[in-house]
Amino acid sequence: MTSSGISFNGVSHTYRPPRGRPVLALDGVSLEVKDREFVALLGPSGCGKSTLLYLLGGFMPVETGTISVAGKTVTGPGPDRGVVFQNFALFPWKTVQQNIVYGLEKQRMPKPEREKRAQELIELVHLEGFGDSYPSQLSGGMKQRVAIARTLAIDPLTLLMDEPFGALDAQTRTLMHEELLAIMRRTPKTVVFVTHDVREAVYLADRVAVMTARPGRIKEIVDTKPSTGSRAEFIHTQEYTEKVDYLWNLVRDEAIKAQGEH
Amino acid sequence: MTNNVVVRYIPLLLLAILWEIAPRIHFVDPSELPPLSAVLKAWWSLLLDGEGHTFLAVFFKGSLWSNGVSSFINWFFGLGGAIVIGVFLGVFMARYQTFDDVVSPLVKALYPMPKSALIPVMILWLGLGAGSKIASIGLSCLLPVILSTYNGSRGVEQTLIWSARSLGATDRELLWEVILPSALPEILAGIRNAVAISFIVLVASELLVGQHGLGYLISFLGEGGVYDAMFAVVVTVSALGFAADRAYLYFMRRTLIWRE
């Protein structure tokens, strides 16, 4: 099996708005994500965590530093890095099934195979019977499940998630957490997960990288893998509560700084 | 539902009754506004190449059909050309900054120009035939198509483009499979404006000069003083315009069914 580790090496990024002064968004970020590891990027809004993910996705050019995935330097988007966005980013004119097979069409997979794969994925994300629905007919949670299925269809080495559950209500979000973990058990992937939700980060990730307010740097990396038992049990342990408190204190200072900027 | 349709057409029915009665009781001069029944009779004669109508049977050359066909050809190529070229230019402007910088000021300056002012210019350049009419219609319809395509293509959600890219779409596939479908609601709305404009310019250009088309027929019959037949053509053109808009709206709803 190919190793799909990710490495960020001294990555800086300057945001240049069409009008106004350039803003330093990321300042010398270095981070190693191991193969099949789930890392959450946690930080206040505007800290550049999404920018870091977009650079990893290859959607913006890396000007300073390097990012590499499985040993290859990132120069543009590619099917080795599947992406899930907060706003789902489904093609609204395509049905659930058509959305899921889009990436497979690009890989020139024959139609019968595509349809078989789509069916498997629809089952994986529990959307049986919705294959012919349009995204506008689905709830937020269902849309995000379609987006996850569309990304998993092409079987990427790594999964890049940009606050994927941020637009969902609390109950749906909790269910989606469980589903994501179940999916990751069946098809383990290297995951970079951007969030500003401390509990979400602790619950899902193996490690949490806390970022500072702008310009974003890595402030501290905290191990959040449960020392014993499953994640479902983890959430009820003292250990979980302590990690959440510890991380919240780290993020809190940065959130206050970020607010002070406005 | 049926009830609604009936209620909606009551004002039209009242107008029809008024149109019939007003000239008959000489509330208006019947030579200036012939009663509706006379107009309908003339319309029928026009369909039958003038049969049953004194003036039309003797002087009328060509039928409502043949003139309708020449109008249809002008309309089809004018509007069709505008749609093809307009979508192409709009997308091109939205995607290439330099091209946009050059073309945008021209488009914006030409947008508020009265479309009918183009007709004499086109006649001067292209002559009295179908060419000048197709060009007038095409140029008039071009701007709404360009602008709606431009706005629609620029408004494509960034994450949609990124998603397609990371799923392996090439530049070309991105254009056909993401940008155009995403811009389609706006493009189709722009084309609806273009359809309305196309009818105005079609009739105006044929009224001005020429020997063919429904607009020509209106001016020919008007100058001949055959007002019942003239009104019949005016009503025909209005009905065609209305029907075209309805049919287009239906097509648009069907195409954008995924938005519901």
In chain A, which residue's Cα lies nearest the Cα of B161?
Answer: A89
pLDDT at B45 over 90: no
Q: What are the tens digits of pLDDT across the range A194-210? A: 999 999 999 999 999 99
Distances from the Cα of A8 to the Cα of A5, A34, A189, B181, angstroms: 10, 12, 18, 36
Q: Are B223 and B230 in contact (CB under 8 A)?
A: no
From the number of C-beta atoms within 10 Å of its C-beta (0-12, 13-18, 19+), residue B71 rates as: buried
Domain count, chain B: 1
How far CA A163 is from CA of A192, A201, B219, B238, in Å, comes to 10, 10, 66, 54
- Domain, as residue range, for B96: 64-259
Interchain CB contact of A91 with B (< 8 Å): yes
Type of residue found at B104: S
- Asked if the C-beta of A61 comes within 8 angstroms of chain B's C-beta atoms, the answer is no
Percent of chain A topping pLDDT 70: 98
Look at A89 and B157 and tell me if their CB atoms are within 8 Å. yes
Note the pLDDT of residue A253: 85
Confidence of residue A50 (pLDDT cuts 50, 70, 90): very high
CB atoms < 10 A from the CB of B88, how many? 13
More confident residue, B20 or A254: B20
Cβ atoms of residues A46 and A258 within 8 Å: yes
Q: How confident is the model at residue A2 (pLDDT cuts 50, 70, 90)?
A: low
Site from A106, A121, A137, A154 to mutate, B interface, most B CB atoms within 10 angstroms: A106
Residue B144 falls inside a structural domain: yes
Residue A227: which pLDDT band, with cuts at 50, 70 and 90? confident
Residue B59, pLDDT above cutoff 80: no
Give kind and range of the element (H or E) at residue A40.
strand A38-42
Q: Please identify among residues 143-162 of chain A the ones whose CB lies closer than 8 Å to any CB of chain B.
A: 150-151, 154
Q: Which residues of A touch B166 (CB under 8 A)?
A: 57-58, 77-79, 81-83
B165 touches chain A (CB under 8 A): yes
The CATH number of residue B195's host domain is 1.10.3720.10
Model pTM?
0.87
What tens digit of pLDDT does each residue of B183-235 get?
Answer: 999 999 999 999 999 999 999 999 887 788 999 999 988 888 889 999 999 99
**What's the angle, vertex CA B88, arms to CA A19 and CA B68, rounded to 5?**
135
Does the residue B74 lie in any domain? Answer: yes
Task: Tell me if residue A95 falls in helix, strand or coil.
Answer: coil
Tell me the pLDDT of chain B averaged across its residues: 90
The pLDDT, as a whole number, for residue A1 is 44
ipTM of the complex: 0.92
Residue B214 included in any domain = yes
Q: Tell me which of A68-82, A117-131, A140-154, B53-67 is least confident.
A: B53-67
| B135 domain residue, yes or no | yes
Is B1's pLDDT higher than 60? no
In a domain, B148, yes or no: yes
Percentage of chain B surpassing pLDDT 90? 64
Chain A and chain B share a number of CB contacts under 8 A equal to 65
User: Is residue B141, in this structure, part of any structural domain at all?
Assistant: yes
Q: Is there a domain that residue B44 lies in?
A: no
Q: Give the CATH superfamily of A6-80+158-260.
A: P-loop containing nucleotide triphosphate hydrolases (3.40.50.300)
Token pair belonging to B124: 């001067």
Q: Phi and psi (nearest 5°) for A169?
A: -75, 165
Which uninterrupted H or E stretch holds A193? strand A190-195
Closest CA–CA distance from residue A170 to any residue of chain B (Å): 24
In a domain, B27, yes or no: no
Cis bond before residue A215 (omega within 30° of 0): yes
Burial bucket for residue B225 (CB in 10 Å: 0-12, 13-18, 19+): exposed
Q: What is the pLDDT at residue A194?
A: 96
Whether B183 contacts chain A with CB within 8 A? no
Q: Are the CB atoms for A63 and A12 separated by under 8 Å? A: yes
Sign of dihedral through CA atoms B123, B125, B131, B134? negative
Residue A58, pLDDT > 90, answer yes
Which range (A98-112, A118-132, B66-80, B213-227) has the least confidence?
B213-227
